[in-house]
Chain A
Amino acid sequence: MAVLVYTENWDGAFKKQSFELVSYANAIAEMLNVPVIALSIGEVKEEELLKLSNYGADKVLKVENDQVNTLDNQIFTQVIGEAVANENASVVILAHSNTGKALAPRLSVRLKAGLATGVNQVPVTVEPFVIRKKVFSGKAFTHVNVKTPVKVLTLAQNSFELVENKKEFNTESLSPAALPKAATEVRSTNKQTGKILLADAEIVVSGGRGMRGKENWDPIEELAEILKAGTACSRPVSDEGWRPHSEHTGQTGKIIAPNLYFAFGISGAIQHLAGVSSSKCIVAVNTDPDAPIFEAADYGIIGDAQKVLPELVSAFKKMKS
């Protein structure tokens, strides 16, 4: 028996999310008294793989193969499924990311394993296997009882603390059985560079319709730069084309859980809060004292975002210097 965790890499490197996953896998493995196997797919150097053992991986299983250089859901499902079978894993953990959401449901069917998605804590009990997760876009929680011998989980991003747990570095290669030709053909990839990704950001600076137009976003960008933060927006802002769709947070956009979320000129509609209410701390700036955002916020300023933003920029600059 084992806990198997799939740690995705980005151009051969891991990031905080990967170490969160291993820390989480290790916490569950301790409850079950079994080892942690971290699975890495694609080319990654030894010194990078070694980092996984610092967070509790007893073994790092690597798959390097020409067929896995781009994401094809069927091929990746086959590879992970094979690793799970070889290692006799009873719990399989992926990130609740684009990739994890694409693969975990397929794996669940392939392995006849019950699936619980977007979890953010260790199981309440392991026998029976009951785990808590958010439902109704954060308006409530449920306890999911996973009834099958093998369980598949996806871990919500930025929801589990990193825990260092150094284990001896052990690596093994897995050569998957003959893989079919990938159905998915990648024609082009267009990556933003140099920006902090919303899913990775520990601080997020966000603007709503109260920002009144795309030309007013400079101070938001500036504040984000000072705080090494990601930028986000409400839905009408992306619908208007003031900001890209990838920044839209909320029920129909991205669901994020940064340590700190700034909401400038956002009313705090229930659908917006669904995407940001798991933030550890919310700061709201709004001209309307009755705006619902103040019910969700930890700190609030009643005022004009155009006036408050530059002052915050200089206050944070001062703090940083």
Chain B
Amino acid sequence: MKILVCVGNVPDTTTKVRFAEKNTKFDTNGVQWVINPWDELALTRALELKEDSSNPVVHVTVATVGRAGAEPTMRKALAIGADDAIRIDTDPEDSSFVAYQLAEVIKNEDYQLVLCGIESSDYNGAAVGGMLSEYLDLPSVSAVTGMTFEGADIILSREIDGGIEEVSLPAPFVAVVQKGIAKEPRIPAMRGIMMARKKPLKVVEVAEAETLTNMTEFEMPKPKPPCKMIEAENVAELVDLLQNEAKVL
């Protein structure tokens, strides 16, 4: 069984967000790029499943839609342990465009399991995984927090309102994963970094597709009024403020 993990290249979560060109573009100056945090967890889980020889997983591929600037992130994914990488050479326009590009690549391959993260930490689309499954006409499971094999069957835990459900379904399918899928993301070791240099990173041309949305402008949130400090000995005052000033009780 081959697993494909879709990985986005996103600004590090501590990035100071700034915009350029009259607030119409994200300013990438000085930005540190990383693997989208959920994708890193998805990749970690895929590798754990592959390493356990009782499972049928034999190969883990990572794919991204992005320009050459995304290559360090792909190399990091290879260093963590992915067997090979695919980069679809175009800017990730909107989510349906990205999902379409991934679908075009996947439909000619025999991945039994496609993993996506729940959302990208930059534009917070929470969309590509579901869109991809619909383009491929494959079943999908979302909010996946656990994945194991029972023989050849894949058992998934998915989060539902107020609980967890265990589901299974026949491969191939798309799983959209979130926190819990792996305990902690793997960090590349020296050996992995050396090996990553020799692993295949295939560059694929963009397929023609339309976008359905575009972002016209950005804004920063309004500054918040300063925090009102209350003496630790005086919690009654806090209760009063919450009741009568903030009116939230």
* B168 in contact (CB, < 8 A): yes
A308 to B234: give the CA distance in the assembly, Å. Answer: 9
Q: Which residues from 123 to 164 on chain B have a C-beta closer than 8 Å to any C-beta of chain A?
A: 123-131, 133-135, 139-143, 145, 155, 158-164
Q: What is the chain A residue whose CB lies nearest that of B239?
A: A315
1/0 contact string of A294-307 vs chain B (CB within 8 Å): 11111111111001
Assess the A114–B96 pair: CB atoms within 8 A: yes
Minimum CB–CB distance from B151 to chain A (whole Å) comes to 14
Q: Does A86 contact B (CB under 8 A)?
A: no
Taking CB as reference atom, which chain B residue is nearest A118?
A: B124
A residues in contact with B139, CB < 8 Å: 72-74, 183-184
- Which of B142, B184, B227, B243 makes the CB contact (< 8 A) with A295? B227
The answer to whether B126 and A190 have CB atoms under 8 Å apart is no
A321 — which chain B residues lie within 8 A by C-beta? none
Question: For A259, what are the chain B residues with a Cβ–Cβ distance below 8 Å?
Answer: 248
Q: Is the CB of B159 within 8 A of A283?
A: no
The answer, among B128, B142, B214, for a CB contact under 8 Å with A147, is B214
Q: How far, in whole Å, are A218 and B212 apart by their CA atoms in the complex?
A: 50
Distance (whole angstroms) from the CB of A74 to the closest CB of chain B? 6
Distance from B190 Cβ to chain A, minimum over Cβ atoms (Å): 26
In Å, the complex CA distance between A311 and B239 comes to: 11
CB-defined interface of A272-292 with B at 8 Å, one 1/0 digit per residue? 001000001101100000000
Q: Which residues of A contact B130 (CB under 8 A)?
A: 73, 101-106, 108-109
Contact among A74, A192, A283 for B162, CB-based, below 8 A: A192
**With the chains together, A98 CA to B135 CA distance in Å?**
20
- A77 near B242: Cβ-Cβ < 8 Å: no
Residue of B nearest to A97 (CB): B161
Docked complex Cα distance between A154 and B118 (Å): 14
A98 touches B161 (CB 8 A): yes
Q: Are B99 and A109 in contact (CB under 8 A)?
A: yes
How many A-B pairs have beta carbons closer than 8 Å: the answer is 264
Q: Which residue of B is nearest A296, CB measured?
A: B224
Specify the main secondary structure of chain B where it touches its partner.
Answer: mixed
Number of interface residues of A (CB under 8 A): 94
Q: Are B236 and A315 in contact (CB under 8 A)?
A: yes
Closest-CB distance, A21 to chain B (whole angstroms): 14
Q: Is the CB of B179 within 8 A of A183?
A: no
Interface 0/1 of B82-109, CB less than 8 Å to A: 0000000000001110010000000000
Contact of B167 among A74, A96, A187 (CB under 8 A): A187
A144 within 8 A of B: yes
A143 touches B227 (CB 8 A): no
> In the complex, what's the smallest C-beta–C-beta distance from A157 to chain B, in angstroms?
10
The answer to whether A316 touches B239 (Cβ under 8 A) is: yes
Residue of B whose beta carbon sits closest to that of A261: B248
Query: Main SS of the interface on chain A?
Result: mixed
Residues of A within 8 A of B218 (CB): 135, 140-143
Chain A positions within 8 Å of B129 at CB level: 105
Task: Identify which of residues 22-60 in chain B touch chain A, using a CB-to-CB cut-off of 8 Å.
Answer: 37-38
Give the CA-CA distance A70 to B163 in the complex, in Å. 14
Q: Which of A26-34, A162-170, A244-252 contacts B (4 or more CB under 8 A)?
A: A244-252
Pick the residue among B142, B179, B214, B225 that contacts A73 (CB under 8 A). B142
The complex places the Cα of A116 from the Cα of B173 at a distance, in Å, of 24
Q: How far is the CB of B131 from chain A (nearest CB, A)?
A: 4
Q: Which residues of A contact B112 (CB under 8 A)?
A: none
The contact of A137 among B124, B125, B142, by CB within 8 Å, is B124
Q: Does A126 contact B (CB under 8 A)?
A: no
Q: A117 contacts the other chain (Cβ, under 8 Å)?
A: yes
Contacts of A72 in B (CB 8 A): 139
Residues of chain B lying within 8 A (CB to CB) of residue A106: 130-131, 133-134, 140
* Complex contact A145–B227 (CB within 8 A): no
Q: Does A195 contact B (CB under 8 A)?
A: yes
Query: Closest approach, in angstroms, between the C-beta of B114 and any C-beta of chain A?
Result: 14
Shortest A149–chain B CB gap in Å is 10
A190 to B162, CA, bound (A): 9
Distance (whole angstroms) from the CB of A68 to the closest CB of chain B: 15
Nearest B residue to A285 by beta-carbon distance? Answer: B232
Docked CA distance A137–B94 (Å)? 17
Known contacts A116-B213, A145-B215, A298-B227; is A245 also within 8 Å of B179 by CB?
yes
- Taking CB as reference atom, which chain B residue is nearest A102? B142
In the bound complex, do residue B142 and residue A199 qualify as a contact, i.e. CB atoms below 8 Å apart?
no
B4-30 near A? 1/0 per residue, CB < 8 Å: 000000010111010100000000000
- The reply to whether A138 and B126 contact each other, CB–CB distance below 8 Å, is no
Question: Which residues of chain A from 130 to 187 have any CB-CB distance to chain B below 8 Å in the complex?
Answer: 130, 132-148, 154, 183-187
For B121, B211, B248, the residue with the greatest tally of chain A CB atoms inside 10 Å of its CB is: B248
Would you call A105 and B217 a contact (CB within 8 A)? no
Query: A109 to B118, alpha carbons, bound, how many Å?
Result: 17
Chain A residue contacts of B166, Cβ below 8 A: 186-190
Residues 232-249 of B, flagged 1 when their CB comes within 8 A of A and 0 if not, give 100110110111001011
Interface status of A110 (Cβ within 8 A of chain B): yes
Could you show 13 A-B contacts with beta carbons less than 8 Å apart?
A98-B158, A99-B161, A104-B127, A105-B131, A108-B134, A109-B134, A134-B124, A136-B11, A144-B214, A189-B160, A274-B13, A301-B229, A308-B235
- Ordered nearest first, which 7 A-B pairs have the shortest CB separation? A105-B130, A303-B232, A102-B142, A114-B212, A191-B163, A183-B139, A109-B134
